[in-house]
Amino acid sequence: MTIGSEIHGWVTDLFPLCRSITGDGIRESLRYLQRILPEMKIHGVSSGTRVFDWTVPLEWNIKDAFIANEGGERVVDLSQNNLHVVNYSEPIDEWMTFEELDRNLHSLPDQPDAVPYVTSYYRRRWGFCLTHRLRDQLRQEPFRRYHVKIDTTLESGELIYGELILPGSTSREILLSTYLCHPSMANDNLSGPCVQAAVARWLRDFVPDRRMTYRILFLAETIGPLAYLKRHLETLQENLVAGFVLACIGDDRRYSFVASRSGSTTADRVVRHILRHDHPDHDEYSFVDRGSDERQYCSPGVDLPVCTLMRSKFDTFPEYHTSKDDLAFVTPSGLEGGYRLVRECLGLIEELGPYRCRTIGEPHLSTRGLYPDFGLRDSWTKVRTMMNLLAYSDGHHDLIDIADLLEIDARELVVVARDLVDHGVLELDLPS
């Protein structure tokens, strides 16, 4: 089985759960991921806790929701699709005419066969989402009466999140963060958590000599990072080298990323370099086009070096936040491409430098067997890359700086740099 198929399997398993920012949906989802990553801890923040300008809301749970006609037939039913209920709806159990009901319905006239995804976390209300086609049909009989029932609870509980720390040989950190609060949509947002789980497993199992410490988070969007930052902001500001939010990373379309607020952090530079070389047809979005948890990580006073990795950018593809974002929209190859992009970024940061030449003047390469045997002109070009790496390794230029100068892929320099470190002529600094 390919890694892409395996990730797609996880997406498929998690798809039916009715997640929200709190409640049993996200709890069961985290427990599922814990089976892949048993080292992951699940932490909670109590309802009512202040997190900066926000307050953790009551925990929301749902048992049932439907609109039934007088014959008892459910014309809209939660069990058919978790999107049918406005997420965080308060309970209701009433009879009313369609005309009365219609004020609480949501549909998409432009996409008559899609059920939209609507939430109302911070204002109490109730509502249903349905296809515009069905709504138009029901509209034919405005005075017909319906049994409208939403069986939800809003009670004091917890905002929970998953946290996996994979220690490296240094305290310099890389953050991977994704959100896990959307019900029954595959790209937004099961692709992010499932790709992130696969990357975490790879780091744990196949990168034992990692230099960086990895902080890997599965959170509710927006309130999740805020609650986490409330607890860990200073540590992150002190140690974070680069962070990546994973979002909408499982479809088969072009790669893209949202730059950090400054646009020039290590995170931005690494993603930009990798995408330019591996996927020249990618899209770069400015922070002005942000929309996921980079909003909090890069906000004034937080200012972490974080950008968001995606394939199709949220809010730009027609399937976004509708029932069309389904298990066919994300693919094994799409997910595997996202997984590989993240791995490439992390791999490069581990080796990024800057490096520092340990000699004054050029090192004497031939005593170390690093110089080609004979001084004929033809051999010269063969050592140029090595010589250039040495010439610019002044503790200020990292591999991306040098690669861009030489118009090559920074990953070509990684092997050369390792060899020079092994020969004692270069030493590695960690990115600041």
Instruction: Return the structure tokens found at 156.
Output: 């004091």
Which sign does the torsion angle of CA 344, 347, 353, 355 carry? negative
Binding site for a second copy (CB under 8 A): 51-55, 106, 116, 118-120, 122-123, 222, 225-226, 229, 233, 261, 286-288, 290, 295-296, 298-303, 315, 320-321, 356-357, 359-364, 366-367, 373-377, 380, 388, 391-395, 405-406, 425
Nearer to a second copy, 189 or 393 (CB): 393
Instruction: Give dist(CA 429, CA 241) in Å, integer.
Output: 12
Nearer to a second copy, 113 or 141 (CB): 113
Q: Which residues contact 127 (CB under 8 A, 6 or more apart)?
A: 85, 86, 89, 104, 105, 106, 118, 120
Nearer to a second copy, 94 or 362 (CB): 362
Find the shortest distance in angstroms from Cβ 32 to a second copy: 27
Find the shortest distance in angstroms from Cβ 42 to a second copy: 22
Find the shortest distance in angstroms from Cβ 359 to a second copy: 4
- Residue 315 phi/psi, 5° resolution? 70, 10
Q: How many of the other CB atoms lie within 10 Å of CB of 380?
A: 11
Find the shortest distance in angstroms from Cβ 402 to a second copy: 10
Q: Which residues contact 189 (CB under 8 A, 6 or more apart)?
A: 178, 179, 180, 181, 182, 221, 247, 248
Nearer to a second copy, 97 or 262 (CB): 262
Find the shortest distance in angstroms from Cβ 124 to a second copy: 12
Angle between helices 192-206 and 3-14 (to 10 degrees): 130
CA distances 418 to 174, 263, 269, 302, 402, Å, are: 21, 29, 21, 34, 15
CA 29 to chain CA centroid, Å, is 16
Nearer to a second copy, 34 or 316 (CB): 316
Nearer to a second copy, 134 or 233 (CB): 233
In the 8-state DSSP scheme, what is residue 26?
H
Find the shortest distance in angstroms from Cβ 208 to a second copy: 32
